[in-house]
Structure 1
Amino acid sequence: MGTVYVARSSGGRTVALKTMHAAIATDPAARTRFRLEADAARVIGDRFGARVVDADALAETPWLATEYVLGPPLDEAVEAAGPLPEQSVRALGAALCSALGQLHRSDVVHRDLKPSNILVTAYGPKVIDFGIARAIGDDRLTRAGAAVGTPAFMSPEQATGQEHDAGGDVFALAGVLVYAATGHGPFGHGQAADLLYRVRYAEADLSGVPAALAPVLAQCLAKEPGARPTTAYLAAQLHDGKGEFADHLPHELLADIGRRAADVWRLVPQRLPAPVAGPEVMAGTTAAGRRRSRRGVLALGGALAVGAAAGGGAWWWQERTPARGGGGTRTKSSTHRTQNIEPLWTYTVDVVVTAELGAVVPQALGGMIVVPTGGGSQGVSSASGARKWDSYSEESSWQTLVAGGRLYRLSIGEETSDGIGAAVTLQTVDPKNGKTIKTLARFAGTNDELPTHQLLCVTDRVAYVVVGKGKNDGTGAFSVGETDALGAADLETGKLLWSKPLPVRFELSSRLHFLAAKAVGSRLVTLQEVKDGTVRIVVRDASTGAVLWERPYGIDEPDVLRGGIAADSDHLYLGGSRLWALRLSDGAVTWKTSTEHVHGPPVLKAGILYAVGGGVGLTAVDARSGKVLWTERGGEVSEASTAWPPVLGTRYAYYKNGTLLRAISLSSHTTSLTYQTSGRQFYADADAKLVLGVDSQNLTAYPLQ
């Protein structure tokens, strides 16, 4: 929705300053939500929330200033110090009951209560981010039948787009307390469709919840709202109200709160340069003559977080850069300017790719870009972006792959009335016209109408594939009764070398079995999603399919792993809360970076890992030791996207930052070029020297240098 800055008033008050993105501010409904957010924050008051200092929802850039809360979000507290002891959970729950009671007495429901929206201070928790809060019974800003909120902590009625009243907040509160006590939510994690299904139909997972607390939370997690207790009753069941809140917190959490309080005053803010005179209204000011000013609030120089109303920690960025949204040339200092250049061409795909198949994934070879769409493939010229051919075999992005200078495809058959097609075949394809050159292997007993086949990776001699058996019932990505297997096929003889069954997947799952795979020497390295939506690192013997080792990979957004695997002959390299390396021989951790930042998936080149860090930007790390070699400098990094690996050229590394594709010089480590982009994922066409940005329907080319 916007960007939140740590800011300080001319009188010395430290605040969290939330501003709305310019593109969103043009929507009247979004402005209404923003105004209601400020109203709800005032309703909860400064005892249970972040006190509202000032706000202006009618300004050209709507803004909201609240007190800067001295304490971590609950999810960060649990991640840093582990699950809270029972006494802490009870005290936290009782205080949150009082906070919600304050809202409900004013006929307001929060609707997005989750660990990241609860800040833990020494005096009690504070509830923030009322972006989707509303009056009970008011559905004017909610589309009928639409689920709005965070799936892992939604109530069953909210998950189906029905009325979410005070009982829905109680359900979410119980989920928050389960997380505080165990480190996991009551319905696990994973993709939204799986979470919503479990919220509606599955029993809550209370494993790890203290025995005396479990029955209380189980009652709150009842599927029927009428069976849940009120906040007043629940508070009495949780805690007797004796003692100060801080007395019930573990020492590690209190120490963290103290450190954050000290950090606020550790650095001296720099004033921003005066705005350039002229008719343009600068971001950070109100339209002349329309509303009051922001009363002298000074940005401390960097974004604290995106989409949160008030952060607990402070990430400081000291470059003197105006906080401006949108594109255009951005001046980074008085001596260095970046160029914002138009893309080379944009190609619009005819068929919108369905959610379970992900965005368009281009396969570049021989001056052509093959674009599988789920309804066929289209051949696009690398030079001009002009379409050269179409095919209509219904292949998706999971079934085509370029390897070793050849284009491979798993065949997809035409739909039949009975849902039972022919056997899946592996073919080579001519990128110039999309026609089959040769059939390499045929997988007996499989059904080519199932949309869940995957061509994972191909070596000089072997193709690793997922193929399925059963009837395509059209219910979703996976069909009822479907069985899938991971196998290896010899490219010369067509013989199936080995086949291993895969776990049954829930039919409404929107992701397939594997997010990424890579053959590394004698091993097949895979990132595999299992039935509960979690991801596991599974390393197999490439010659037999036997599992050599596996371990969980805790990641909130599995889709970011689709960008590929970074590995060499000895190690697998991963992102997450840190960059880290696992030994391929046994899965042991070799190193982790010392600084904790959210990192996107890394890319490996010449012994150096490149990854995008949240609040840091592009980072280069020595793959052998884990030592940080350099980080991007001289540019605003608050909107650096960690949702995809960077693309490497010979001079620049490219990644998305806000609405821009940024080219970072590999020699000076500064931004050299920027491009406006709507892309979400980025690929390289090394032969044509292109960066290919894709979203659900567009393919855009930028120069790769």
Structure 2
Amino acid sequence: MPTPLTHDDPVALGPFRLIARLGSGGMGTVYVARSTGGRTVALKTMHAAIATDPAARTRFRLEVDAARVIGDRFGARVMDADPLAETPWLATEYVLGPPLDEAVEAGGTLPEQSVRALGAALCSALGQLHRSDVVHRDLKPSNILLTAYGPKVIDFGIARAIGDERLTRAGAAVGTPAFMSPEQATGQEHGAAGDVFALAGVLVYTATGRGPFGSGQAADLLYRVRYADADLTGVPVALAPVLAQCLAKDPGQRPTMARLAAQLHDGTGEFADHLPHELLAEIGRRAADVWRLVPQRLPAPAAGPEAAAVTGPAARRPSRRRFLAVGGALAVGAAAGAGAWWWQGRADARGGGGTTAKGDADKTRNIEPLWTYTFSAVVTDQLGSVVPQGLGGMIIVAAGGGAEAVRATNGVHAWDGNGLSGESSWQTLVTGGRLYRLWIGEETSDGIGSAVRLQTLDPKNGKTIKTLIRFAGTNDELPTHQLLCITDRVAYVVVGKGKYDGGGTFSAGETDTLSAADIETGKLLWSQPLPVRFELSSRLHFLAAKTVGSRLVTLQQLEDGTVHIVVWAASTGAVLWKRSYDIDDPDILRCGIAADNDHLYLGGSRLWALRLSDGAATWQTSTEHAYGPPVLREGILYAVGDGAGLTAVDARSGRMLWTERGGEVGEASTSGPPILGTRYAYYKNGSLLRAVSLSDHTTSLTYQTSGKQFYGDSDAKLVLAVDGAGMTAYPLQ
């Protein structure tokens, strides 16, 4: 439980500003801290007096190294560290989940299926260490944090390389007696087999609420570890012989981590599926608590006799167990854990997190986000929305004045910039397995610039592969160009001519055209003039565009802010038909267009369908509910209704098929379309991202979110939530 900072705690360490205390013990203090970019971390420090000991500093450095070895899949991701600082510190992500000992103490022992799944996941975590020739040496319940997508192993304060005895005195037992291996208890070499012994002890505790060698004084525990048989009373019958083999006194008789994992679990299902509902609810509660953290600092204690009464309770320090438990905890506000349920090399990060929506507590599983990424560019561009697009394991984001890429698996920054600093934020497009960019150059002194270019980029590094088209006579300094859509052969773009005066968005004397060009030959196919804009206008011409058969369907915004549906002949640029579209918030239309070969589907004061041939309305719902933009799949239209929640409509007839049931929908957001997975549809309701089952139409999962716009990446199986600071990934199932 975070507590206020004391008067003499530092204001900041490295690039992190301290927010609250998580715990303090004999070795140091752990804080909640935030980076300048808003990333929340757990920051572990070493007391100044201990930092003067070279051996202690070496241990701290090895702890940092071991935490990096295990990685963010099985441990708390290391965000930054400085073991050489006057006050050594280590910043990790803030794990949203309780330590195993607290979970058992609060909710009781776990059922056999949970114990087996936990054991298999821990085998993979420890196997990762062992493959790097590192052993943990202090595995115990308080050093295992439970999240809905898998456990995370923390606190590597006494971890070391296999065979390295430089930091251990001969004959000295280092570790926690209740979970030591016999060889460790006598000060001998503790190798990978020692971690197997400790893991078995942890699983006995998980199943029974006590260690395999009881409790008591350290000397008694060490004796029983060395000479007594493990007490497996209460361990499930089928599990007991598996753990008994791991608790053999002879290290050579214990199974390997890989063999033990196979005996424990077959790796099927989500990790969260194997956890009790009460534990998942506790994970959700902790996720909500972190969002409520407010920086506080206690005043300096008063002088005189009253000081003891004022400072007494605050001076009481948590136990070392609590200190170690939070020592590896990590980021939620901006990095909520990129770990995944993992077994024998299988990664499946489709768990999730958040808080429980009111009225859904008995029905929902509340799971953590997968990762959060802070944009390197400030997202303030008023010309277009920030659209993340998946390609080749990357999430490409057009943000602010440039583009950047994030690895879809873990939210780690891959690249940005590479000369894109002059690029407007809606000018990067992923389609047909390729990454395109409409180049907008930097300003020159004469404001004339050069021709606008359409290029392909390498998604691995953001560098230009090839220039496909140069639009002759255009000025790439004008910030009003738009890359609308690209088919397998034709690119549809808005390009401008004229001198850039450096004033408003549109320049005096500028003329814009909607143009089509062949991406294979670079030939201009047709060009149609667009309405002149006022010099200070900050709106681009189009909100969204899509090719449907032989038509180019666009949502065009005029100077006065009104929106018109304009359908063009894709081959000639002739306007086939147009009609006005009354919409309160045009910006929500940037999400895209729902259409099939025959109809265009729209939201607003109702859901309705327009024939693409002539723009006539085929059907429309009543005005009982307003709807956000719809999304179409296999003949069914999905949309979020104000006061109705998620709604499914037959696209041909407009007949209502079903409406979300069982959850409160008073705060259902209609600012975007739902994101469709195979099992769930996702949309924002209040401060939650809600996952509604497509089979029983009730809320199954909720996630705390600050996202304003939501996008789906079906290849990476992610829901991506974007706000003004960054992007958070949730599992798309």
Q: TM-score, normalised by structure 2?
A: 0.51
Alignment check: 8 A CA contact 2:541 2:556 kept:
yes
Q: Which amino acid aligns with 1:361?
A: V
Alignment check: 8 A CA contact 1:440 1:494 kept:
yes
Q: Does 1:605 align with 2:602?
A: no
> What is the CA deviation profile of residues 411-457 of structure 1, one whole-angstrom value per residue up to 9, with x for unaligned ones?
12122122221100111111000011111111011111111111101
Q: Does 1:385 align with 2:443?
A: no
Residue 533 of structure 1 is aligned with which of 543, 561, 564?
561
Q: Does 1:330 align with 2:347?
A: no
Q: Secondary structure at the match of 2:382?
A: helix
> What is the CA deviation profile of residues 625-660 of structure 1, one whole-angstrom value per residue up to 9, with x for unaligned ones?
000000001111011010111111111111111111
Q: Secondary structure at the match of 1:560?
A: helix
Residue 668 of structure 1 is aligned with which of 691, 696, 701?
696
Alignment check: 8 A CA contact 1:363 1:371 kept:
yes
Structure 1 regions of 5+ residues with no counterpart? 1-325
Q: Which amino acid aligns with 1:631?
A: T
Cα pair distance change 1:541/1:662, threshold 3 Å: same
Alignment partner, residue 177 of structure 1: none
Alignment partner, residue 636 of structure 1: 664
Q: Secondary structure at the match of 1:476?
A: coil
Alignment check: 8 A CA contact 1:524 1:541 kept:
yes
> What is the CA deviation profile of residues 71-102 of structure 1, one whole-angstrom value per residue up to 9, with x for unaligned ones?
xxxxxxxxxxxxxxxxxxxxxxxxxxxxxxxx
Q: TM-score, normalised by structure 1?
A: 0.53
Residue 585 of structure 2 is aligned with which of 544, 550, 557?
557
**d(CA) in 1 for partners of 2:720 and 2:712?**
6
Q: Which amino acid aligns with 2:651?
A: A
Query: Aligned runs of 1:158-197 on 2, under 5 Å?
Result: none
**d(CA) in 1 for partners of 2:730 and 2:354?**
16
**CA positional deviation for 1:532:** 1.4
Cα pair distance change 1:377/1:590, threshold 3 Å: same
Q: Does 1:361 align with 2:382?
A: no
> What is the CA deviation profile of residues 553-607 of structure 1, one whole-angstrom value per residue up to 9, with x for unaligned ones?
0111100111100000000000011100000000000000135311000000000
Alignment partner, residue 351 of structure 1: 377
Alignment check: 8 A CA contact 2:357 2:702 kept:
no
Alignment partner, residue 320 of structure 1: none
Q: Does 1:371 align with 2:417?
A: no
Q: Secondary structure at the match of 1:664?
A: strand
Alignment check: 8 A CA contact 1:464 1:487 kept:
yes
Q: Secondary structure at the match of 2:426?
A: helix
Q: Secondary structure at the match of 1:604?
A: strand
Alignment check: 8 A CA contact 1:610 1:646 kept:
yes
Alignment check: 8 A CA contact 1:602 1:609 kept:
yes
Cα pair distance change 1:355/1:596, threshold 3 Å: farther
Alignment partner, residue 705 of structure 2: 677
Larger radius of gyration: 2
Alignment check: 8 A CA contact 2:386 2:426 kept:
no
Alignment check: 8 A CA contact 2:403 2:425 kept:
no
Alignment check: 8 A CA contact 2:457 2:465 kept:
yes
Residue 574 of structure 1 is aligned with which of 579, 602, 622?
602
Q: How many residues align?
A: 380
Residue 446 of structure 1 is aligned with which of 468, 474, 499?
474
Q: Does 1:405 align with 2:433?
A: yes
Q: Which amino acid aligns with 1:508?
A: L
Cα pair distance change 1:489/1:641, threshold 3 Å: same
Cα pair distance change 1:327/1:366, threshold 3 Å: closer
> What is the CA deviation profile of residues 459-500 of structure 1, one whole-angstrom value per residue up to 9, with x for unaligned ones?
111010001112222222222221110010101110000000
**CA positional deviation for 1:507:** 2.6
Alignment check: 8 A CA contact 2:668 2:685 kept:
yes
Q: Does 1:512 align with 2:527?
A: no
Q: Which amino acid aligns with 1:379?
A: A
Alignment check: 8 A CA contact 1:356 1:477 kept:
no
**d(CA) in 2 for partners of 1:439 and 1:497?**
17
> What is the CA deviation profile of residues 339-390 of structure 1, one whole-angstrom value per residue up to 9, with x for unaligned ones?
2222111111122123423442112100011122232221210011111112
**d(CA) in 2 for partners of 1:415 and 1:591?**
49
**d(CA) in 2 for partners of 1:387 and 1:330?**
32
**d(CA) in 1 for partners of 2:491 and 2:366?**
42
Residue 460 of structure 2 is aligned with which of 432, 438, 455?
432
Alignment partner, residue 507 of structure 2: 479
Identity value in percent: 77
> What is the CA deviation profile of residues 38-93 of structure 1, one whole-angstrom value per residue up to 9, with x for unaligned ones?
xxxxxxxxxxxxxxxxxxxxxxxxxxxxxxxxxxxxxxxxxxxxxxxxxxxxxxxx
Alignment check: 8 A CA contact 2:635 2:652 kept:
yes
Cα pair distance change 1:389/1:333, threshold 3 Å: closer
**d(CA) in 1 for partners of 2:725 and 2:501?**
27
**d(CA) in 2 for partners of 1:579 and 1:515?**
19
Alignment partner, residue 323 of structure 2: none
Cα pair distance change 1:471/1:634, threshold 3 Å: same
The alignment's C-alpha RMSD in Å is 1.7
Q: Which amino acid aligns with 1:360?
A: V
**CA positional deviation for 1:329:** 2.0
Structure 2 regions of 5+ residues with no counterpart? 1-352
Q: Which amino acid aligns with 2:692?
A: I
**d(CA) in 1 for partners of 2:374 and 2:655?**
42
Q: Secondary structure at the match of 1:516?
A: strand
**CA positional deviation for 1:327:** 6.8
Alignment check: 8 A CA contact 2:402 2:425 kept:
no
**d(CA) in 1 for partners of 2:708 and 2:573?**
34
Q: Which amino acid aligns with 2:365?
A: Q
**CA positional deviation for 1:508:** 2.6
